[in-house]
Structure 1
Amino acid sequence: MISITPTTLVLHRNPSFFFFFPSTTTRPNPTYPSFFTVRSSSSSSASSTSLQELEKEQGELRSELYASAPFLPIKSAKRVILVRHGQSTWNEEGRIQGSSDFSVLTKKGEAQAETSRQMLIDDSFDACFSSPLIRSKRTAEIIWGSRETELITDSDLREIDLYSFQGLLKHEGKAKFGPAFRQWQVDAANFNIDGHYPVRELWARARSCWTRILLHESRSVLVVAHNAVNQALVATAIGLGTEYFRILLQSNCGVSVLDFTPQPEGRSPFICLNRLNQTPNSPIAAGSSGGRKTSNRIILACHGYTQSNPEASTSGDLPMNMLGIIQSQKTAELLLDLKVSSIISSPKKACFETAMAISRIAWVLTVCHAMWR
């Protein structure tokens, strides 16, 4: 297995968000780099080679190369809101849609889109990019409402191309394609059908979309598309490869938000994944994720602000300040309808205090066995 890393990524955390940005020790060229570092699982040594040589020797990895390249610099801050379309007729039937355009929104899907419109009513969008497929475009029209600015349809925002699979019920795909359908289920990144690698192609398309979205003059952009392509948009923004397909699922009319902050000297922007798959219901409501049933759920909560400067280093063991206490109480309220079986906490004071705030409410609703570490 070969992984290609054009730049080192650092995960930076504050009490509200996760930030992904290039390491200060490795500054990428503001244009697409001509050299990549190649790491192989069969060798501990790393070697560098040109993009042209890699394309020649590893043609099947071409989409990953483009997916992992650093973003072009931006001039001003930009927020991008990704929304998946509402339930479609083929969603309801359990039919494989892919990039086909035969399904439309159900009544439930129309209602979901209207609920999302109300949920986003305080957001002042400057532009709306939409997939050209009917189910997505109709969702965009509902959310966009009576704004005078026209929707921007982008073919690269269409759903993943699944070729011969499209239109089949899932059991039909299994019966007709056997091993290929099994690979699609368990190893989608390397899945091949009709001479194509759909997930790799999708990652390349996502990169292409980001270029147009970020170069657009607007500061707040609504993007209405599909589950798979929105996964690819999030993944390519934060530097994740095709192996993360199906990890970043998005429910019908779920909302994900990314914030882009310009950096000096023409460097790639800081990218903050602000929200991921927020739905009109509680974002942690049990039951399903991206249309798939869930049996177990782990919720990661960060402690509130501490008594030190909120922007200061995360080192030390300090209790929360008043803002942190309020934040922990709000988190506890968000979890009101969730049955918590156990809580595992860091021994740090702020973490323990946050866990205690949650457990006080959880104890009232259900038997909760807290475990502190």
Structure 2
Amino acid sequence: MFCAAPHLLLHRCFSTYTRPHPSSITVRSSSSLQEIHESTPVSKEQGGLSSQLYASIPFPPIKAAKRVVLVRHGQSTWNEEGRIQGSSNFSVLTQKGEAQAETSRQMLVDDAFDVCFSSPLIRSKRTAEIIWGTRKEGIITDSDLREIDLYSFQGLLKHEGKAKFGAAFRQWQMDAPNFNIDGHYPVRELWARARSCWTKILTHESKSVLVVAHNAVNQALVATAIGLGTEYFRILLQSNCGASVLDFTPQADGGLPYIRLNRLNQTPSSPVAGGSSAGRKTSKRIILVCHGSQANTEVSFPNLGDQPMNMLGLIQAQKTAELLLDLKVSCIISSPKIASVETATTISRVQEAADCLGADCVPRYVEMKQMQDLDLEKILGQSKQASI
């Protein structure tokens, strides 16, 4: 089903998941373009082990709806050098990193944040200061938001880590959830720490929260929120200054909140440029696209109904199609809803015509499919299968 070329998924909402504790999660992509990259394989055996780390502590109930925006720090000096940072505190933002943070500030300028939580590490704290700007409220630093602890690996260039640690470094690359160094399991510790962070964030009296931290810890925050275990480490990569948004909605009976992933790794730069994510090359890509604006804009999710796109939506779909011109999309999977099909059709037509400039050329065929429900685990699992 999946091949090396990018696939587009156009849906309004993913299916609902239930974690080991009775909290339901809805995963939604609502920004124009989102991207999931294949990285490490998912192991059912690992899943059972990692699930225990976050299932043991239920999410606290909340009284009012809360939005949490997670942002990774801008490019750091050690990012630029290719050095393993972990939770060390020796790198600072590069000039590019400062510019990325400023772009993120502009991207989030309309968000009325009540509070900002930040990692205490210099690269994240500086990013938080730039995005937070002139707001009067102070930034809350939390050591649990520091980057993953990589112990003896920290400070090494990647080729140095490979030469010095051999098998251990290979395990870190190939089987991170079970990777052990200096008597520690860094990824498992990170997942447990992320759950602790959520308790502090959700019990804080605020409705709109900015969290500025790091790639790995932000992955863990997203994963633990939507019920994914440590086997998803490196699947939900966070780019420099990439933003992910989660919405928490209280239940009427005061139970555990509903959790919706609204945006995943929305970056200041093009989300489809360069064929890489967070500096890592990828062989398979799934691009998530939200349909354009609909005719009935006054009705909010999830009861929007089956409405066609309005004029703004048609323009948005065309602009998205143009943004994807540099990619050779082989398949588009869409919801059967009218707006999703319209958006998919627009992208398909542009893709098929992209390589056909001469009178005698034959347009490239883009396969189109419709699917009522998109199951996140099924999608990620299928993306690892060989092309058929």
TM-score range, shorter chain: 0.7 to 0.9
User: Structure 1 142/360 Cα, relative in aligned 2: closer, same or farther at 3 Å?
Assistant: same
Instruction: Return the offset for 1:287.
Output: 2.9
Counterpart of 1:153?
141
Q: Which runs of 4+ in 1 moved over 6 A?
A: 304-310
User: Structure 1 306/114 Cα, relative in aligned 2: closer, same or farther at 3 Å?
Assistant: closer
Counterpart of 1:369?
365
Bigger CA drift: 141-150 or 223-232?
A: 141-150
RMSD of aligned C-alpha atoms? 3.2
Identity of aligned residues (%): 67
Question: Aligned pair 1:321/2:317, yes or no?
Answer: no
Partner amino acid, structure 2, of 1:116: S
Counterpart of 1:353?
342
Q: What do the CA deviations read for 1:231-267 (whole angstroms, capped 9, x no partner)?
A: 0000000000000000000000011000000012221
1:70-219 → structure 2 map (5 Å cutoff): 70-219=58-207
Distance in 2 (CA, whole Å) between partners of 1:119 and 1:295 is 29
Say which SS state the counterpart of residue 265 (structure 1) adopts.
Answer: coil
Counterpart of 1:36?
none
Say which SS state the counterpart of residue 298 (structure 1) adopts.
Answer: strand
Instruction: Return the offset for 1:311.
Output: 4.8
Relative to the length of structure 1, the TM-score reads 0.79
1:301-312 → structure 2 map (5 Å cutoff): 301=289, 311=302
Question: Aligned pair 1:251/2:239, yes or no?
Answer: yes
Distance in 2 (CA, whole Å) between partners of 1:78 and 1:347 is 28
Match of 2:316 among 319, 322, 330: 330
CA contact (8 A) 1:328 1:358 kept: no
User: Structure 1 27/119 Cα, relative in aligned 2: closer, same or farther at 3 Å?
Assistant: closer
Distance in 2 (CA, whole Å) between partners of 1:366 and 1:295 is 22
User: Structure 1 200/106 Cα, relative in aligned 2: closer, same or farther at 3 Å?
Assistant: same
Distance in 1 (CA, whole Å) between partners of 2:270 and 2:15 is 23
Counterpart of 1:35?
none
Distance in 2 (CA, whole Å) between partners of 1:222 and 1:301 is 24
Say which SS state the counterpart of residue 253 (structure 2) adopts.
Answer: helix
CA contact (8 A) 1:20 1:270 kept: no
Partner amino acid, structure 1, of 2:54: A
Partner amino acid, structure 1, of 2:368: W
Distance in 1 (CA, whole Å) between partners of 2:170 and 2:157 is 14
Q: What do the CA deviations read for 1:161-197 (whole angstroms, capped 9, x no partner)?
A: 0000000110110011111100000000000000000
Instruction: Return the offset for 1:129.
Output: 0.2
Q: What do the CA deviations read for 1:18-64 (whole angstroms, capped 9, x no partner)?
A: 475548x9846xxxxxxxxxxx979xxxxxxxxxxxxxxxxx95x74
Give the paired residue count: 328
Distance in 1 (CA, whole Å) between partners of 2:347 and 2:44 is 42
CA contact (8 A) 2:294 2:313 kept: no
Instruction: Return the offset for 1:345.
Output: 4.2
Partner amino acid, structure 2, of 1:336: E
Instruction: Return the offset for 1:296.
Output: 3.8
Say which SS state the counterpart of residue 211 (structure 1) adopts.
Answer: helix
Match of 1:227 among 207, 215, 222: 215
Instruction: Return the offset for 1:146.
Output: 1.1
Partner amino acid, structure 1, of 2:199: T
CA contact (8 A) 1:64 1:200 kept: no
Name stretches of at least 5 consecutive residues in structure 1 with no aligned partner: 1-12, 29-39, 43-59
Counterpart of 1:65?
52
CA contact (8 A) 1:113 1:142 kept: yes
CA contact (8 A) 1:20 1:238 kept: no
Say which SS state the counterpart of residue 117 (structure 2) adopts.
Answer: strand
1:36-51 → structure 2 map (5 Å cutoff): none
CA contact (8 A) 2:244 2:263 kept: yes
Bigger CA drift: 354-363 or 111-120?
A: 354-363
Distance in 2 (CA, whole Å) between partners of 1:267 and 1:280 is 36
User: Structure 1 311/246 Cα, relative in aligned 2: closer, same or farther at 3 Å?
Assistant: closer
CA contact (8 A) 1:84 1:250 kept: yes
Between the two structures, name the one with larger relative contact order (CA 8 Å, sep ≥ 6): 2
User: Structure 1 194/221 Cα, relative in aligned 2: closer, same or farther at 3 Å?
Assistant: same
Instruction: Return the offset for 1:303.
Output: 5.4
